[in-house]
Structure 1
Amino acid sequence: MESAPPRVCPAQRAGSLDNRFRRLLQNPRRMLSPYVREGMTVLDIGCGPGFFTTDLADMVGDRGRVIACDIQPAMLEKLRHKVRGTALESRIVFHQCRETTTGLTEPVDFILAFYMVHEAADQTLLLRDLCTLLKPQGLLFLVEPPIHVSKTAFAETLRKAQETGLTMIAQPAVRFSKTALLQK
């Protein structure tokens, strides 16, 4: 079994990432409905076992799709198993990225990067890659955990995002998180 890079949450902890208690605290629909519409193409980078992916796939509807992207094949397999045989399966594209790039070229309307940018080996490369994928006026919702990411480190991440061509337009409230809504 392939192991995750040292900064990444291991697949063995997937259950702690996708549970009812977390859904009460960080409800995907409530958090993402202001930004995600039917027919959109959405990238869920660092999707893990799909805590946000399934709600995103429901929100984009039959005309939209969600690219579930993770560095760990085991996380993608957990998500694949979760949606197998459901209506959501046809709306989700499973993609294994590499440590330094997503490896994607398809333009997207919205990117969710939830609790994962701090895990990137090179944040500037990652943010540049994400900015390239966004359509004009596209949005990147960046959410980081306060325990792992200090105020100073988050400010540095935002500085790097601005250098890649993204502009912060809001800081939506998400429990237990530092956030930024960035636009291309």
Structure 2
Amino acid sequence: MTSRNTHVCPVQLSGSLDNRIRKWLQNPQKILAPYVREGMDVLEVGCGPGFFTLDLAWMVGNSGKVVAVDLQEGMLEQIREKIRGSEIEQNVELHQCTEDRIGVSGSFDLVFLFYVVHELPDKESFFSELVSVLKDGGRIYMEEPPFHVSKREFEESLRIAGDAGLRVADRPGRFPDRAAVLEKA
């Protein structure tokens, strides 16, 4: 979660993360539907300009909450502008993490990690922190891009998650991406 990491998409290029073509290729409703229910508390780490955040907020409804986390205040500001005055504004909490810590409190039914784990310099600490905020029975959805993450690198991330107390519960077929659903071991 370091700003010195060259893999972190700069705010100036955030338009490439939030467009119609991506919505067609990576439809948030289709990806999230098996894992998100009304009333859930969801932690979205690496939310960027909110491509998934808004759909998550609608899906958890008024009785749920989405905590959208990003390293860059500019990304959070884009979400703030999108939700200002809307019905879902009350369902979304924005949080700026630090370079080495997510820094949220509470407990979550789902942690959503989309194209973010490869950006992290300290995966061991990251997964340990996630275990501490994951509710019993909660899950982590993790998806990584094949153009940044090899199969070997993805498996290494899963091994690190395992060392932190997580196990693979499912491997959604998200070709060409690499995806896994994790839960406490």
Q: Would you call these one fold, judging by a TM-score over 0.5?
A: yes
Find out whether 1:172 has 2:172 as its counterpart.
Answer: yes
The code of the aligned residue for 1:29 comes to Q
Q: Does 1:158 align with 2:161?
A: no
Task: Give how far 1:121 is off.
Answer: 1.3
C-alpha deviation, 1:175, in angstroms: 4.0
1:51 partner letter: F
Contact 2:116 2:144 in 1 (8 A): yes
Q: Name the CA distance, whole Å, in 1 between partners of 2:14 and 2:80.
A: 13
Q: 1:19 maps to which residue?
A: 19
Let me know the Cα RMSD of the aligned residues. 1.2
Q: Deviations over 1:123-168 (max 9, x none)?
A: 1111111111100111000101101111111110000001111110
Contact 1:36 1:59 in 2 (8 A): yes
Aligned residues: 182
> Deviations for 1:50-85, whole angstroms, at most 9, x for unmatched residues?
000000000000000100100000000011111111
Whole-Å Cα distance in 2 between the matches of residues 175 and 46 of structure 1? 21
**What's 1:127 paired with?**
127
Q: Within 2, Cα distance between the matches of 1:149 and 1:106?
A: 30
How far did residue 100 of structure 1 move?
Answer: 1.3
State the identity %.
Answer: 47
Aligned equivalent of 1:115:
115
Between the aligned partners of 1:118 and 1:16, the Cα distance in structure 2 is 18
The 2-side partners of 1:116 and 1:83 are apart by 23
Does the CA contact (< 8 Å) of 1:170 and 1:180 recur in 2? yes
Q: Counterpart of 1:97? A: 97
| Structure 1 unmatched runs, 5+ | none
Distance 1:93 1:173 in 2: 30
In the superposition, the TM-score normalised over structure 1's length comes to: 0.96
**Matched residues in 1 for 2:161 and 2:114: separation?**
15
Q: Which amino acid counterpart does residue 132 of structure 1 have in structure 2?
A: S
Between the aligned partners of 2:101 and 2:64, the Cα distance in structure 1 is: 24
1:83 match:
83
Detail structure 1 runs of 4+ shifted over 6 Å in the superposition: none
Q: TM-score, normalised by structure 2?
A: 0.95
